[in-house]
Structure formats: C-alpha cells, structure tokens
Amino acid sequence: MGQIAIFLLVTFAWSWGLWAAPVLVHMGIQIPDALQGIAEGAGSSAAWGPLVGAIVTAWLSGGVGALGQLLRRGVQFGFAARWYLAIFAIFPVILIVSWAIGSFGAGSSLPLPAFDAPFVLPIVFFSILFLGGPLQEEFGWRGTLLDPLQARFGALAASLITGAVWAVWHLPLFHFPNDTPYYDRPFWGLLVTTMLISVLFTWIYNNTGRSIAAMLLFHTMFNFSHYLFPTLGDDLAGLSLFAMQGGAAVIVVLMFGAKRLVREPKL
C-alpha cells in the first residue's frame, strides 16, 4: 500500500470514526450508551486524525528515522525573512479588505468582537496553533500528502487535490452543531476556500524548504485572521473573500509557475 493510501486510510478512519457518534446523535439516531461518551468528546480527539495519519505513515515507510525527519520539519524556522512577512501578512490583509468591503456595503462597520478584549489575543493565537487545527493537520496535509502528489502531478494540481481532500475531511462537521462559522455555510464554500488557499500554502511550503513550521504558522494566521475579522457572516464580505483568495492564487501561479510554484533561477 502506498504512502498516500496509508495516510488517507488512517486519517479518515480516525477522524470520521470518532465524528460518527456525534453526527448520529445530532441526526436523532439512537446509539448505545457506551458510545455516548465518545459522542460528547469526539470533536477534539477526531481533529488529530491527520497528525495520527502522518505519524503512522512515516513510521511504516521509514521507521524512527522517517518519523524523526518529519517531526524536525515542524521546527524548521530557518527560512528567509520575506517568507515570514508573507506568512503573517497575506491572510490579515485579505480579511481586512473583505471586512472593509462588507462594511461599506452594509453602511456601517461589521462587528469585531475579538477586539473587545485585545489582551487575550496572544492566548487565542497560541490556542489556535496548538488546538485549533494547525498542529493537528499540517503534518498531514502538507507534511505527508502534498509531496507525493507534487511528484506525480506538479505543484498546482497537487495543491488543488490536497485542498479538496482537506475540505472533504471536514464534511462531518457540517452535520452536528459547533461554534465555527465555516460550517454554517454550504459545503462548497469550504471546498472552494481550501482549494484556493492550498495554492498559497504550497507556494510558501516549496519556497521555505518544505518547512512544516511555516505551514503551522500560516494555518494559524488563516484561522486567527478569521477570528479577528469574521467576514463569513456577511454575504458581500464573504464573496469578496472568495474573490481575493482566488486572485492571490492566480497571481502566485502566474508569477511562480504551475509546475513547482517556485521562481526558476535565471540562466
């Protein structure tokens, strides 16, 4: 069984298996009492599926050495300063502009409740990093799945495939209550978003020496920017967000090339 198949099998079995209980409860289907505890606590445990899949895949493919190499990429911070600028600026700029457009269309500023208590924002940032998606997912999507797809299909196609898998993995979250705004919208919105931003993720990943640390920070900034500027509750702001993400992806592809998303050195 290939690495891609192992990773997807373990990841989806872990996450969807744990999410199945709360989905069934929300649908009004009776489940055994023994599963009630799983249903109540499955959300946080299920989210670790991509990391579990990445660890299992690395271990089976290369043992301790491969696993150690994977984990070391999670602390690989020695890349150029310009990529730190991209990591920390791209999503805030996109979300601020989308929020501003939505506010202009609404005739008044859209609410920004996160800024009511700015002193907690650093805590929120690190909570997102460690418990809100990046740590649970990026060793999987970029650290394990993306590279073999790039080897087969090139950077652009691999990005779109990874983005689609990323979205489908979230599908059970649309079927039971949670407090994340992404899942109050139709699934296609998340699908389009993950496919578009995956191009940006691959671009930074390939230009930082395949750094998973860069992906952890970039994913955190995506979620954190949505926390600061919750545009998805407004139709105009949400459409602006899609347009800007699409525009950013197109610019990256045109400037860096679809094959590797890395600017080739001039001869």
Residue 39 lies in a domain: no
Residue 177 lies in a domain: yes
pLDDT number for residue 197? 98
Compute the distance between CA of residue 162 and CA of residue 148 in angstroms, rounded to an integer.
11
**What's the pLDDT tens digit per position in 155-207?**
999 999 999 999 999 999 888 766 666 677 788 989 999 999 999 999 999 99
The whole-model pTM stands at: 0.94
Residue 191 lies in a domain: yes
Residue 141 lies in a domain: yes
Q: How confident is the model at residue 39 (pLDDT cuts 50, 70, 90)?
A: low
- Of residues 205, 201, 198, the one with CA closest to residue 167: 198
Residue 21 lies in a domain: no
Give the range of the structural domain holding residue 225, as residue numbers without chain letter.
79-256
More confident residue, 97 or 34: 97
pLDDT number for residue 232? 87
pLDDT number for residue 181? 67
Compute the distance between CA of residue 211 and CA of residue 138 in angstroms, rounded to an integer.
10
Mean pLDDT of 132-159: 97
Number of domains in the chain: 1
- Between the ranges 21-35, 107-121, 183-197, 208-222, where is the mean pLDDT highest? 208-222
Compute the distance between CA of residue 205 and CA of residue 212 in angstroms, rounded to an integer.
7
Predicted confidence (pLDDT) at residue 38 exceeds the cutoff of 80 = no
User: What burial class does residue 243 get, using C-beta atoms within 10 Å of its C-beta: 0-12 exposed, 13-18 middle, 19+ buried?
Assistant: middle
Percent of the chain clearing pLDDT 90 (strictly above): 78
Residue 197 lies in a domain: yes
Residue 22 lies in a domain: no
**What's the pLDDT tens digit per position in 218-262?**
999 999 999 999 998 889 999 999 999 999 999 999 999 999 999
Residue 43 lies in a domain: no
pLDDT number for residue 36? 58
Instruction: Name the least confident of 91-100, 119-128, 175-184, 191-200.
Output: 175-184
